[in-house]
Amino acid sequence: MALREISLSLPNRPGALAGVARTLAKERINLAAISVDSASGKGRVRLIVNDPDRATGLLSAAGYDTEVREMLAVRLEDRAGSFLKVLESLARQKINVQSVAILVARDGNQPLVALSTNDLARARQILQQAGFHSRVAERLVSNDDLLASAPTIPSESVGLLL
């Protein structure tokens, strides 16, 4: 299963995010990553969950308008500036980064970062040639694998692993 991110808009008011979490928790969908920001009275939520197909269906049925993006995983050296090299490789080729998530899973001792771009196939090729992307990392990281990398978190709860 490919790594995917679900995004949705919410009104910026008390309880709006709790409604999303309640919808997922009720059906035992586990959060592996979440990002929330707001501007002009609206919030934007990005989620990586263990079952993106079911989560999207549940959120849509609950009245949320969702978007799903496929992401790719890159392996980084665990030192300052390594992610900058990934971004510069993409920028030189005019690839726009749309979203980024630092993943809980690691490839050995190397951190993994998921990102979506305006041209995922080309980005994958560019990053593979630059030595950042590997098929091993893509096989290692799936939505389910993110949760398996943190076995102390009960799978039946909505847990934030980042």
Q: Which CATH architecture has domain 4-69?
A: 2-Layer Sandwich (3.30)
Tell me which amino acid residue 140 is.
Answer: L
Q: What is the pLDDT of residues 60-106, one digit of tens each?
A: 999 999 999 998 888 888 889 999 999 999 999 999 999 888 776 67
pLDDT at 142: 54
How many C-alpha atoms does 153 have within 13 Å on its Cβ side?
21
- 10 Å CB burial of residue 48 (0-12, 13-18, 19+) is buried
120, 124, 126, 132 alpha-carbon torsion, rounded to 10° = 130
β strands within the chain, DSSP E: 4-11, 31-39, 42-49, 66-70, 72-75, 97-107, 110-117
Q: Would you write out the chain's pLDDT as a tens digit for each of its 162 residues?
A: 567 899 999 998 899 999 999 999 999 888 777 889 888 888 999 988 878 899 999 999 999 999 999 988 888 888 899 999 999 999 999 999 998 887 766 777 888 788 899 999 999 999 989 888 766 556 555 555 544 554 444 444 344 332
pLDDT at 105: 66
pLDDT at 103: 72
CA distance 112 to 141: 9
72-147 topology per CATH: VC0802-like (3.30.2130)
Let me know: does 122 contact 130? Beta carbons within 8 Å.
no
Residue intervals of the chain classified under CATH 3.30.2130.10 are 4-69, 72-147
CB neighbourhood size of 22 (10 A): 13
70-105 residues labelled b (16+ CB within 10 A) or e (exposed):
ebbbbbbeeeeebbebbeebbeeeebeeeebbebbb
List C-alpha distances in Å: 45 to 37, 85, 139, 150. 7, 27, 26, 23
pLDDT at 157: 39
pLDDT at 17: 92
What is the residue-averaged pLDDT of the chain? 81
pTM of the model as a whole: 0.72
